[in-house]
Structure 1
Amino acid sequence: MSFTVHVAQSDISFSCAAGTTILDAAKAAGYDMPYSCRTGICGSCKGRIVEGDVEAPASMEGISREERESGCTLFCQAKPVSDVQIAPRSISKLDPNAHKLVKAKVYRVTRAADDVSLLQLRFPAGTKIKFKAGQYLQVLLEDGARRSFSMANPPQQSDGVQLHIRHLAGGRFSSYLESGANAGDIVSLEMAFGDFYLREDSDKPIVFVASGTGFAPIKSILEDVFKRKLTTRSMVLYWGGRRSKDLYLSELAAQWAQSQPNFSFVPVLSEPEDGWTGRTGFVHHAVMQDLPSLLGHEIYACGVPAMINAARRDFVDKCGLPTDAFFCDAFVSTDTAVSG
């Protein structure tokens, strides 16, 4: 059984098989809608159901109860149970060149912390792949499984990618890095994916919020901003971890704060070691202490779901941040979600 999905105020319609999400059906039909985490956390794929019925999980972190009651849903989770009419934030034909399959070579693996490796991959000679700063790629494993990681380098470095990979117990790709990765190994990739990128049509002050390896896509965005001299907007990075070692490239962020106009860096530790004189507590609480009103700001947050969800809730409910000014990507340990 399949259902017809019609896009309101357009001539776009496509088929959606029972049990398939609207986002997956749109992609299969050759259409692109905003999305990022694909797990119901980030809220990038939010839109309205104008007519018809869908089934979706009872609780989705990327959407509020009030939004659901007004007819909104997340298209990465919603599955039609009838013909439906939808109103996504945007929809367009997929660019046939948007996603590329490439065989990359391992160039270098370095440990940035006890549990974080920096993996540098090089594309074949003459191959350059376009992506937006903040997007992610997927590593294709031999059995067809996928692992997703944000690019940490800016798009100007298009002959390869740098990935920041947290080592997880039993993690298949991180275990490969620990035990068997060698320079020259071939890694199969597909890229680029995701809706986490800087909105350049705004002049609002920007607050970046990262936890752990959520720094990776923010590094890509900031280095792109610095290279293109898009530095007229006020920018501040709050980067949180448990211990100072978790802020594995804090020296780089501190260098940016010294050399770049309108940029500042605030490291935050939740379990600081003796001698730490910086900020403590939850990283998003530090933002709220410094900026009790976020009206007129834009937030770009990346990290673990707990931080993303708490930041979204508190920034909107307590600091007056408009819901459409919160952009995020959540790092979760699934085959289709960004994992750092």
Structure 2
Amino acid sequence: MADQWHKGLVTRIVQETHNTRRFWIQIPELEQFSFKAGQFVTLDLPIHEQKNKRWRSYSIASPPDGTNTIELVIVLLEGGAGTNYLFNHVKEGSELVLKGPLGHFVLPEQLDKDLFFICTGTGIAPFRAMAQYIKAHDLAHPPIHLIYGCRQQCDLLYAAEMWDLEKELTDFHYTPTLSRDDDKWSGRKGYVHLIYEELAQRQPAHFFLCGWKNMIDEAKHRILALGYDKHDIHQELYG
């Protein structure tokens, strides 16, 4: 099924921040779109004659819930043909062609080590799906640290939901950090790296990284320097 193309129907669009939108896509031909939290879908957009230049992949931001509808959260990239098409031409009721689920960026089978979810921007999407899946199924789990970097407070995605989840899900810790000055922000400032370095005290752990290449490259280097093994690091690259 993962290699099959399906017609998707855009059922809802919400402008989440000044440059991000949430898209709900239903796959009417399937009763249930089965996937694992953390996986992605690939869209075939009418933006180029060559297939590989039409394809754009996005992590599924919603947890598996037994339905045929998924949610994507997408940032408008300056000069990006794919996101410009999605933002300027796709409306509620539009059809999209997609395939999936794809990818191996999923929860480990045994939740027996601390989980560090480290992300920037829309890289929060797979971690939102994973955390909500753990909550929905009441899975026994180790401490989970969601460390989320954005420029400004207005850029934070799912912020209210994550604060609520911190209260509702035992041992789930949400730490957003802002890289731009914000006098109204009383939380962490700076980049994600100092935070996981503080929290990771050589306890057994999985590090899941999702975001731009520069963040992932630096994080891998720093995590290895903490004494962890490369097999403890899992990544999903954007861009």
So what's the TM-score if we normalise by structure 1? 0.66
Within a 5 Å distance, the mapping from 1:132-143 to structure 2 comes to: 132-142=36-46, 143=49
Contact persistence 1:137–1:190 (CA under 8 A): yes
Q: Which residue of 2 aligns with 1:224?
A: 133
- Report the AA paired with residue 303 of structure 1: G
**Alignment partner of 1:238 is 2:142:** no
**Alignment partner of 1:258 is 2:167:** yes
Mark the CA change 1:113 to 1:135 in structure 2 (over 3 Å): closer, same or farther. Answer: same
Contact persistence 2:111–2:140 (CA under 8 A): no
**Alignment partner of 1:305 is 2:213:** yes
Mark the CA change 1:101 to 1:300 in structure 2 (over 3 Å): closer, same or farther. Answer: same
- Report the AA paired with residue 224 of structure 1: Y
Aligned counterpart for 2:232 among listed residues 325, 329, 339:
325
- Identity percentage of aligned residues: 26
Contact persistence 2:8–2:25 (CA under 8 A): yes
Q: CA deviation at 1:123?
A: 1.2
> Hey, which of these two has a bigger chunk of helix by percent?
2
Aligned counterpart for 2:5 among listed residues 93, 101, 107:
101
Mark the CA change 1:157 to 1:283 in structure 2 (over 3 Å): closer, same or farther. Answer: farther
SS in 2 for 1:282: coil
Q: Which runs of 4+ in 1 moved over 4 A?
A: none
Contact persistence 2:2–2:99 (CA under 8 A): no
SS in 1 for 2:62: coil
SS in 1 for 2:220: helix
Q: Deviations over 1:185-215 (max 9, x none)?
A: 1100011111100002240111111100000
Q: Distance in 2 between matches of 1:230 and 1:323?
A: 26
Q: Deviations over 1:254-278 (max 9, x none)?
A: 1100111111111111113112111
Q: Distance in 1 between matches of 2:214 and 2:140?
A: 30
Q: Deviations over 1:119-145 (max 9, x none)?
A: 111111553222111011100123332
SS in 2 for 1:154: coil
Q: Distance in 2 between matches of 1:283 and 1:228?
A: 29
Q: Which residue of 2 aligns with 1:170?
A: 79
Q: CA deviation at 1:290?
A: 2.9
Q: Distance in 1 between matches of 2:206 and 2:26?
A: 34
Aligned counterpart for 2:222 among listed residues 314, 317, 321:
314
Q: CA deviation at 1:100?
A: 2.9
Q: Distance in 2 between matches of 1:115 and 1:305?
A: 20
Which structure 2 residue ranges, 5 or more long, are not aligned?
none
- Report the AA paired with residue 113 of structure 2: K
Q: Distance in 1 between matches of 2:85 and 2:183?
A: 34
Q: Distance in 2 between matches of 1:157 and 1:224?
A: 12
Answer with 279-288 or 175-184: which moved more.
Answer: 175-184
SS in 2 for 1:132: coil
Contact persistence 1:105–1:123 (CA under 8 A): yes
Higher relative contact order (CA 8 A, sep 6+): 2
State the number of aligned residues: 234
Mark the CA change 1:246 to 1:199 in structure 2 (over 3 Å): closer, same or farther. Answer: same
Q: Which residue of 2 aligns with 1:270?
A: 179
Within a 5 Å distance, the mapping from 1:24-103 to structure 2 comes to: 97-103=1-7
Q: Which residue of 2 aligns with 1:75?
A: none
The structure with the largest alpha-carbon Rg is 1
So what's the TM-score if we normalise by structure 2? 0.92
- Report the AA paired with residue 223 of structure 2: F
- Report the AA paired with residue 192 of structure 1: P
**Alignment partner of 1:119 is 2:23:** yes
